[in-house]
Structure 1
Amino acid sequence: MTLDAVAREAGVSPATASRALNGTTRVREDLRERVHVTAGRLGYIPNAHAQALAGSTTNRTVGVICHDVSDPYFAAVSSGVMRAAAERDLLVMLASTFREPAREIAYVSMLRAQRARAILLIGSGIQDRAWERAMDAELAPYVRLGGRVAVVSRHRSLRVDTVRPENRAGAATLARTLTGLGHRSFAVLTGPPALTTVSDRLAGFREGLAEAGIGIGRVVEGAFTRDGGYAAARRLLACDGPRPTCVFAVTDVMAVGALAALKEAGLRVPQDVSLAGFDDIPLVRELSPALTTVALPLTTMGEDVIALALRERTAGQRSRVVRVTGEVVVRASTATPPVGV
């Protein structure tokens, strides 16, 4: 079935049929309806590549670039994006950078070439001026030509619309909650310090402890993964000196690995050591014990970021920020420390 056949059957020119199916506004509503009904009856499927070439405003593709879609955090946010995109009849192209900054910039360049309607960056920014300049060099011309960009938990130097979890404030509240349980000895398992999510959560946790006159204790760095949390916890347990009564992993995924390492070492959670995370990925509610964490509305964040990208902006309008507050959820992995510890 061809476009010409649809045009003949609908009684319009091929150009009008093409504009109607591509979504342009330069077609009367009655003609648009007639063409769509005819195309549906004849089983005509528009050529997606041809639609993309017709102009970025008609492209139905949204690009989502995240660190690792196998990570439950990114899977949950991406799920929200896809759900909202489906409601708008948009196609989502999903790519994982595996936390390689150069790969992220390359993917943005590819999406520009594909004339994607919007580009969504999901995941922590990197505190690196060269990376920031390279990313801005890709995004700025894309936006000037009508492309839409929005980000989740991204570095503040990018001048784009942002869904920003209050990582610092959430970590500070968690610290206050844990000191309220009576803990005075802590250790923190962190990811790479160049990631802004790491620096914000570590700074917030330190601030919350300082309010109670407590130092942060040992800080052990690991990969932002389950295996990274496991390895970091193993290194922590191998350190000399008293064992902390509470361990904070800056992501739930790291906390899952840490829990395995603690159990492997013969430690009971929370009887011997308490454990807390951040994000509230669905998995942590099913752990034994269930994990205390700072809950973020991950799926809603995905819905918010695509809505932000597609929302019209006025000329000269500053970048918009949707702030997301985390809520501390106390579960069975934390308890009052043992007497005398």
Structure 2
Amino acid sequence: MGELHLGFEIAALVVLVTILLVDLLMVLKRPHLPSMKECAGWIGFYVSLAIVFAVVLFFVGGMEPASEFVTGWLLEYSLSIDNLFVFIVIMSKFAVPKKYQQEVLMVGIIIALIARGLFILAGAVIIDNFAGVFYLFGLFLLWTAWKQTQEEDDEDSDSFIMRTVRRMFPVSDSYDGNKLRTVVDGKKLFTPMLLVFVTIGLTDVMFALDSIPAIFAVTQNPFLVFTANLFALMGLRQLYFLLGGLLERLAYLHYGIAAILGFIGIKLLIHAIHEAPLDIIPGFSVLQKIPEVPIWLSLSVIVLSMAGAVVASLVFAPKTSTTADAADDEGGSGAER
């Protein structure tokens, strides 16, 4: 057991992508600000769907693919929460009308999913031909974990993306409903909506540089890697609205993410030692006695790190005043200039 049939993988991807597209069409047909009840319902649906999918994997392929999927899904879901902070900044800076924020997030997620799919294919090819890449992945994740602990403000990098995109496209100063193009003084211009779509998509691609190497430490099966990313992104839009201002209170969340990335980085280095031993280094064989990190330990570290960061933030973090929401319900003229 452990191998998944190609027919099952194709059928599963068709069903999951169809669900995502139906979700997108519903948002495009009726743009609105979702209620807390609606968000909780959709998150419950996607979490239940992920659990059902894990059970199906268990019966189809056994414990190994099922446990790898669950661990990869929780890993990607945890790292995706970091994306939400950036999404809040982008929505605020572009003053996206609240009733259109679902549409913006959904299109951005579609863009990110396509980009991650390409990253996963490239990563799988590289791993098959060069096992030593796990050293690079591991070191990169350790560096990323250290950067997380520095509490640097991401606004500079976000603003750089925004300025770069704005220079590439002629953009109007105000929205025109949810249109991508408008006419101002007889001149055809893109609306800030296009700018937001592109910025959200590019930002998530940058986050994928961390998350894709991390999940390859859990499984090298491209199907499991992609489905774990798919399920993590599925619930991300509703999580954005459900958590809302709560994210601003999670002052220590980045330490939890840093702990996860650091642990996964070490796991990748241990895996690299076994898969691509550096025999030219004297005494390297001693390192090969270090056992591989089991899936249950990875899952435990992910859950405990996120739970610990959330509890510490809610109990011990200093209280700060929440920033005003720049995006009003009616739309308007507050796009970044």
TM-score (norm 2): 0.29
Larger Rg: 1
Bigger relative contact order (CA 8 A; separation at least 6): 2
Normalized per residue, the structure richer in strand is: 1
TM-score (norm 1): 0.28
Normalized per residue, the structure richer in helix is: 2
